[in-house]
Amino acid sequence: MGILSVNAGSSTLKFAIYPLQDGEVQPALLSGSFEGLEPKGQMQLSWTSGTRRQQRELAAGNDPFAQALVSLSELLETEGKALRIEAVAHRVVHGGAHFRDSVLVSADVLKALQPLCPLAPLHQPHNLEGIRNFMRVLPGLPQVACFDTAFHAHLPEVEYAFALPKAVRDEGVRRYGFHGLSYQFILGELRRHGAPASGRLLMAHLGNGASLCAAREGRSIATTMGFSAVEGLMMGTRCGTLDPGVLLYLMEQGWTHDRIQKLLYKESGLLGVSGLTADMRRLRDSDSAEAKLAIDMFTYHVVRESGALTACLGGLDVLAFSGGIGEHDARLRADAAERLAYLGVRLDEQANARATGNEVLPIHAADSSVQVWVVPTDEGRVAAQDAARLLALPANG
C-alpha cells in the first residue's frame, strides 16, 4: 500500500506516490504534476516513473480536479504500480499557533486553518481548497494536513516574539517559520549520510520561496521567515524583510491592501529587481545590469542572514543547500561559500560542480572546518511519513 502526497496550488496539483515498507515510507514510485486546473484551462499531466519522464494534454471537462484524480488512477494502473492508497498527505504552509504537528483533517480543522490564509496568500488558500476537493472526490479516504510551520513549533521565545505589546502578541502575532517539511527532510538525510547534523547546522532552502534555518540537536532555534511567508530572504517574487515604514508610506500614498499584497508577494524579489524574470537560470543567462543586481542581492542576503543565524548557533559545523536554486546553482553556492570563508567554509570546486540536485553530496574541501552538503529535498516524503505515523498504518500492505 502507499501514501499519496500532494501540494495543491491555484491551478496546479503536484503529487507523488510513496510505498510503505517495514514501517517506513520509501522513495516515490511515481511523481508529477497537473497544470491548467483553473476554469477553462488546458490541463496537462507531466510525470516521472523511474528514469522516464513523460507528459500529455488532457480534457479537463466540467470538473478539472475530479478529472485529474481519474487520470492519476489510470496512470497508476498503466505504470503497473497500482498501490492501494491508504491516505492523502497534504502540504499546508501555515498551521498557526494551534497546529504544531500533522493532523487528520476534519471540517473543524479546515475552519480553524482558514483565518491563516492572509499570512500565506500564495499557498494557504490553495492548500485548503485542494483538501476540500479531495474530501469531495474521495470522501472515504483519510486526509492528513502536514504543516511547514510545525518544525519550528519549539522556537525559543526570544526568537519567535516580536517587540510588540503583549495584547498584540497574545493574538498570535509572532514568528512561526516555514519550509519545515523541507528542513525535516534535509536533517534526516544528513543524519543518514553520516553528517554531524546534531551539531550547529545551517540549512538553506533556496528557491522561488527561500529561507534559512539554524538548528541545534535537530531542533530549529532560529529561521528567517516569520509571521508570514514574505519575511526574510529575497525570493523569486517576494521582497523578503522590508522596513514597515515603507508600507506606511505606501498607505499614505493611497495604496490599498490588495495592491500592497500584490507588490510584496508577486511583483518583488528577483522579478521585481530584474524587471525580467523570477527564474535564476534565465537571470544567469542575461547580460543586463538589472539581472546582475538581482543575483547579487539574492546572494548578499543569503550571506548576510547566514552570518546572523550562525551567531545564534555560536558557530557552524554543517551548512546544507537545498531547494531549486540551492540544489542546482553551483555559482551561488561558490559565491556564498567564498564570503563565508571567515567561518572556515571551503568548497571542493569539482564536487560543487558535480552537485546538480540528483543526489545527496558533500561538496566541502578537505581543509574545510565546516561540512557543506547539497541535499535535494523531498517535502512530500516527509508528509507521507507523517501521515503513516498519524494513522498508525501497518508496515506492509
Q: Which residues fall in the annotated binding site for Mg(2+)?
A: 7, 379
Binding-site residues sit at: 7, 14, 91, 205-209, 279-281, 324-328, 379
- Say if residues 212 and 233 touch (Cβ distance below 8 Å): yes
- Say if residues 363 and 195 touch (Cβ distance below 8 Å): no
110/134 Cα distance (integer angstroms): 13
56/248 Cα distance (integer angstroms): 48
55/124 Cα distance (integer angstroms): 27
Q: Which helix (H) or strand (E) holds 3?
A: strand 2-8
Q: How many CA atoms lie within 13 A of 234 on its CB side?
A: 22
340/307 Cα distance (integer angstroms): 8
Owner of C-alpha cell 476540500: 132
Q: How many CA atoms lie within 13 A of 135 on its CB side?
A: 16
Counting beta carbons within 10 angstroms of the beta carbon of residue 46, is it exposed (0 to 12), middle (13 to 18) or buried (19 or more)? Answer: middle
Q: How many CA atoms lie within 13 A of 203 on its CB side?
A: 36
Residue 148 catalytic?
Answer: yes
**Please, what's the b/e burial string for 175-194 (b: 16 or more CB within 10 A of its CB; e: otherwise)?**
bbbbbbbbbbbbbbbbeeee
Backbone torsions φ then ψ of 292, nearest 5 degrees:
-65, -40
Cβ neighbour number for residue 144 with a 10 Å cutoff: 24
Please, which residues bridge with residue 19 across strands? Answer: 2
Out of 63, 148, 287, 329, pick the active-site residue. 148
- Give the three cell numbers for residue 5: 502526497
Cβ neighbour number for residue 36 with a 10 Å cutoff: 17
- C-alpha radius of gyration, the chain, whole number: 21
Active site residues: 148
